[in-house]
Chain A
């Protein structure tokens, strides 16, 4: 009789442990190992501390400002490239008209001048948007990546833009002298180089 009592006592003692826990695996059929517990009620990593609400609000405002400015920067950048390409084409026509037997009619000069001022203005506006855009998140710097190549290319284009405006004005100021053609040629070369630098700067985002 004692073994029977012992069995009863051990059974009753085991009852709480046998009660199913919430989320625990269902009892396995007889003769099979218990099914693994696949619940997600666990935390294996310490909780990360949440960001302060004020910091997040300030960050959001800066991100919004940056996105607006950089979106405009991209749109104006494309417009600047198109305007500069048109300036180069019309400038070539103007050069040919004046120095390459075109008859020096001056028919392209007004368009070239207007396009040159437009592209210079667009370039300055586009650059200002990028330079004035806040940087809410720290960037990785100090390595040659697409962003740095873009900046180098656009810095080169900016220098070219200033030089070609100055050379264009100087060339026109020297009209009728022997210096005019040399200045116009330098203006032309720098114009193409500026367009090339802008093209490289834009393509860095494609690759």
Chain B
């Protein structure tokens, strides 16, 4: 650069200024934290900051998903203890969750009724209920007790509907947590022909409660 003539140096400087000026403010705003982050690389992370890498917590045995429907004659509760799922904790506090339960795994304590539920939900065609949702842990939420709202979609009876699910997560250690959430869905909205007893159908509202035991690498 020193060997360049003064006019050439001025031209290079002008190009530099024009290039920098053309960068949008948003880009600069994005750039600033990136630069700051690069300056602090190697510094120890604060304890309450989210993990730098995504962490998967698998749904472990001991997890249960329950449903409750109400009929004019009685209320029915079914329990599924075979729950499949993964909760991913992303850097920045985002949480992704995917939980799947086979319809056939719900046990209401009556074999006839469970068979009827399988028929009503067309379990042969749509064997599983799947919840896929995302949310954000509050700051410092990956430790202790945290409340968050997951927003996502529930696929049931082959129909996918948006859902909002308030969840309470309790971290007992960095790699272990339990989560509880409750959701009420409309059977009609999922295109189900509601099961009936003595020609009286169950109510439209289906209450689902999930208690998940989560475990991943510490």
Give the B-binding residues of A (Cβ under 8 A). Answer: 1-2, 4-5, 8, 11, 14-15, 18, 27-30, 33-40, 42-45, 48, 51, 55-56, 59-60, 63, 66-67, 71, 74-75, 78, 135-137, 139-141, 143, 145-148, 150, 205-207
Contacts and interface: CB of A to CB of B under 8 A. Distances in A.
A32 to B, nearest CB: 9
Contact of B115 (A40, A48, A139): A139
Interface string B89-127: 010111111101000100101111111001100111101
B94 A146 contact: no
A-B pairs with lowest CB-CB distance, top 4: A36-B94, A44-B86, A44-B98, A147-B112
B114 A29 contact: no
A8 B111 contact: no
B31 A14 contact: yes
A18 B33 CA distance: 12
Interface of B: 1, 9, 12, 16, 19-20, 23, 26-27, 29-34, 56, 73-74, 84-88, 90, 92-98, 100, 104, 107, 109-115, 118-119, 122-125, 127-128, 130, 132-136, 151-153, 197-199
Contacts, number: 137
B113 A36 contact: no
A120 to B, nearest CB: 23
Given A40-B134, A44-B96, A136 B30 contact: no
Contacts of A66: 119
A38 B124 contact: no
Nearest to B29: A30
Contacts of B92: 33-37
A133 to B, nearest CB: 10
Nearest to B102: A48
Contacts of A43: 98
Contact of B119 (A1, A136, A145, A147): A136
A140 B88 CA distance: 35
Nearest to B103: A137
Nearest to A75: B199
Contacts of A34: 33, 92
Given A40-B153, A146-B112, A137 B119 contact: yes
A206 B134 contact: no
Given A8-B19, A36-B90, A51 B115 contact: no
Contacts of A207: 74
Nearest to A205: B197
Contact of A29 (B20, B29, B110, B111): B29
Given A18-B30, A45-B98, A74-B198, A146 B119 contact: no
7 contacts: A27-B29, A29-B29, A42-B96, A60-B122, A75-B199, A139-B112, A139-B115
Contact of A145 (B30, B94, B111, B127): B111
B118 A137 contact: yes
B106 to A, nearest CB: 11
B96 A27 contact: no
User: Most chain-B Cβ atoms within 10 A of its Cβ — which of A2, A71, A135, A147?
Assistant: A147
A168 B130 CA distance: 59
A139 B111 contact: yes
Nearest to B114: A140
Contacts of A145: 109-111
B134 A39 contact: yes
Contacts of B115: 135, 137, 139
Given A11-B31, A14-B31, A59-B124, A38 B112 contact: no
